[in-house]
């Protein structure tokens, strides 16, 4: 697997959010496969870039393929990938990973043993990977936090799309994407998600 080029991110943010599924994030000895994302764009009020260019939002308007890391509620660092051409404020929030490498290190950082709980949320995965505010505006191809392309043998399977969570504005946009049935996605589970191998419930004909 090789780092994703800047050109990958210089496209509509919703497309990038879907196509990041199956890619890998690496920081130090820890790595995980992206299984859930959310798209944010300056044209809708849930995006930080909606307020325009400020010192905080500056990375969002910068070159595509850079990290936008911010503190949520003063507690969790959240990791985003800046998208679209420079000058457009847009980013993909990484919501969940499936751990691949450095799992014991992740457990130590998180203080939990259950592998499915290590990275099943945007604040959990940054803690597990050791991603902090110091990584804000770093290059996702060459920096300490790197996004790698999907493995050639990877098969996407079903992808669910539904409303984003944890927001009150523009909550109706179906810009949350996840691998259907993957046990590492965050809660509440996305619409259409069901455990792998379980059939969809039969519809009543009455």
**Residue 206 belongs to some domain of the structure:** no
Residue 167 placed within a domain: yes
Alpha-carbon span 81 to 96, nearest angstrom? 14
- Answer left, alpha or beta for residue 16, where phi above 0 means left and psi between -120 and 50 means alpha: alpha
* Element holding 37 (H helix, E strand): strand 30-41
Mean pLDDT of the chain: 90
CA distance 71 to 98: 22
Once rounded to an integer, what is the mean pLDDT over residues 150-162? 79
Average pLDDT over residues 119-145: 97
- Least confident segment among 82-86, 87-91, 132-136, 194-198: 194-198
State the residue range of the domain holding 94.
6-179
> Could you tell me how far CA 174 lies from the centroid of its own chain?
15
**Residue 131 within a domain:** yes
CA angle 185, 159, 206 (to 5 degrees): 100
Left, alpha or beta for 111 (phi > 0: left; psi -120 to 50: alpha)? left
Inside any domain, residue 115: yes
**From the centroid of its chain, how far is CA 124?**
12
85 lies in some domain = yes
- Asked if pLDDT for residue 196 goes beyond 60, the answer is no
Q: What is the pTM of this model?
A: 0.91
Q: Give a yes or no: residue 202 inside a domain.
A: no
pLDDT surpassing 50 at residue 12: yes
Say what the pLDDT of residue 58 is. 96
pLDDT in tens, 51-79: 999 999 999 999 999 999 999 877 889 99
Domain count, the chain: 1
What CATH number is given to the structural domain containing 61?
A: 3.10.300.10
Of 18, 9, 11, nearest to 160 by C-alpha is: 18
C-beta of residue 25 within 8 angstroms of C-beta of residue 145: yes
pLDDT at residue 202, as a whole number:
35
**In angstroms, what CA-CA distances link 14 with 7, 83, 108, 162?**
15, 9, 34, 12
């Amino acid at each position: 697997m090789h780092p994703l080029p800047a050109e990958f991110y210089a496209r509509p943010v919703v497309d990038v959010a879907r196509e990041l599924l199956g890619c890998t994030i690496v920081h130090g000895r820890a790595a995980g496969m992206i299984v859930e994302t959310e798209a944010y764009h300056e044209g809708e009020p849930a995006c930080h870039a909606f307020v325009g260019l400020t010192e905080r939002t500056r990375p969002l308007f910068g070159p595509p393929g850079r990290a936008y890391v911010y503190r949520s509620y003063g507690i969790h660092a959240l990791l985003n990938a800046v998208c679209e051409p420079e000058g457009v404020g847009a980013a993909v929030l990484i919501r969940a990973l499936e751990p691949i490498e450095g799992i014991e290190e992740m457990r130590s950082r998180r203080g939990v043993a259950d592998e499915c709980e290590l990275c099943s949320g945007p604040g959990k995965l940054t803690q597990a990977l050791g991603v902090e505010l110091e990584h804000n505006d770093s290059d996702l191809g060459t920096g300490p936090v790197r996004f790698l392309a999907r493995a050639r043998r990877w098969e996407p399977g079903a992808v669910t799309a539904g409303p984003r969570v944890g927001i009150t504005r523009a909550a109706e946009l179906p810009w949350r994407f996840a691998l259907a049935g993957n046990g590492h996605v965050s809660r509440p589970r996305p619409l259409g998600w069901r455990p792998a191998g379980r059939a969809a419930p039969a519809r009543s004909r009455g």
